[in-house]
Amino acid sequence: MIQMDCEKISLALIYLWIGESNDAKDIAKNCIETLRDSITDIREKIKEVKIKVEDEYLLPYYLRNEGINSDDLVKLGLYELARRIQLFSGDLKSKEYNSIKYSIINNGYKVVIKGFCKDCNGYKFKELKNGFIVQLDGLIYGEVIGNIREEDLIKEIKSL
């Protein structure tokens, strides 16, 4: 069974996507701390089995014989994902407006907004004069060509 601290790892990916790296790093850290003890044994068993196996297609058979099951492999995968989230979380800071966390990237030609809304559900699309905004089950993505004020962009998101 997967530990409770790793159930929010998908939320950490969303936070990392929008630039909320501190929250993503905290979730990943909790998951790593929970799994750290069991991962060492699993890795050692897998290394031993890999040495024994002559052909790749026999690896699952030998892993099962050594007592490594799918839960162990999921734990190892979650640990690696959490470790990479912790390593690759950058310095981009997100902003918050009401229940929406978002970040805006302006490269001069195009403005990109990425956001997350916990209370938003369903699919919504809004075509703007010079761009678009899409919301799908809490994830928000938008592109606008040219300059636009941040306040105007947030108003458009709230009107979805």
**Domain end point (choices 49, 68, 88):** 88
Q: Which of these, 66, 69, 160, lies nearest to 113 by C-alpha position?
A: 160
How far is Cα 157 from Cα 142, in angstroms, rounded to an integer? 9
Same domain for 30 and 68, yes or no, is yes
Residue 104 and residue 141 in one domain: yes
How many domains in the chain? 2
Based on the fold, state whether residues 84 and 102 are members of the same structural domain. no
The amino acid at 24: A
Q: Residue 110 belongs to what domain range?
A: 95-158
Q: Which pLDDT score is estimated for 4?
A: 60
Nearest CA to 91 out of 3, 11, 36, 22 is that of 22
| Residue 12 backbone phi and psi in degrees, to 5 | -65, -40
10: left (phi over 0), alpha (psi -120 to 50) or beta: alpha
Q: Per-residue confidence of the chain (160 residues) as pLDDT tens digits?
A: 455 678 889 989 998 888 888 888 889 999 999 888 889 999 999 999 999 888 889 999 999 999 999 999 999 999 999 999 988 777 667 888 888 889 988 888 899 999 998 888 899 999 998 999 999 988 999 999 988 888 888 888 888 8
Instruction: Write down which residue in 88, 104, 129 finishes a domain.
Output: 88
Domain boundary among 88, 116, 133: 88
The answer for residues whose C-beta is within 8 angstroms of residue 155's C-beta and 6 or more apart is none
Does this model's pTM top 0.85? My answer is: no
